[in-house]
Amino acid sequence: MKIEKQMTPETVLEELGRRIARRRLDLGITQADAAEQAGLGKRTVERIEAGRDIQMSTLIRLLRVLELIDGVDRLVPETGLRPMELLRLKGKDRRRASSKRAVKSDEKWHWGDQE
């Protein structure tokens, strides 16, 4: 089944669980062995394969065992800067997001309790 944007989160989790179970079986690894190699409980692997909610760190551990960790990079690709940002930054790495509220240069800054 193809995962599509109109699917419910529960349906997506169930499909991911099926795919993870298929990968584990293709590698010839039991749930108990996968759990041990990932440092998880067997019941946790069962929950993942059943499409239940889990912590991301738990999923990452299991993906490593199943040799699927490289797929995470494709899941959420690193974004590049837009051309105008590149010109503005001129090689500097962006460290923070800009504030939505700019302080006017003629306003004097003060603590909130000072009136």
In this predicted structure, which of 8-17, 28-37, 93-102 has the lowest mean pLDDT?
93-102
The ranges assigned to domains in the chain are 9-69
Contact indicator for 54, 44 with CB cutoff of 8 Å? yes
Architecture of the 9-69 domain: Orthogonal Bundle (1.10)
Burial class (CB in 10 A: 0-12, 13-18, 19+), 44: buried
- Please state, as a whole number, how many other Cβ atoms lie within 10 Å of the Cβ of residue 47: 16
| Rounded Cα–Cα distance for residues 79 and 9 (Å) | 24
| pLDDT tens profile 57-97 | 999 999 999 999 998 888 888 777 777 777 777 756 656 77
pLDDT at 99 over 80: no
75: closest CA among 63, 62, 66? 63
Q: Supply the pLDDT for residue 19.
A: 96
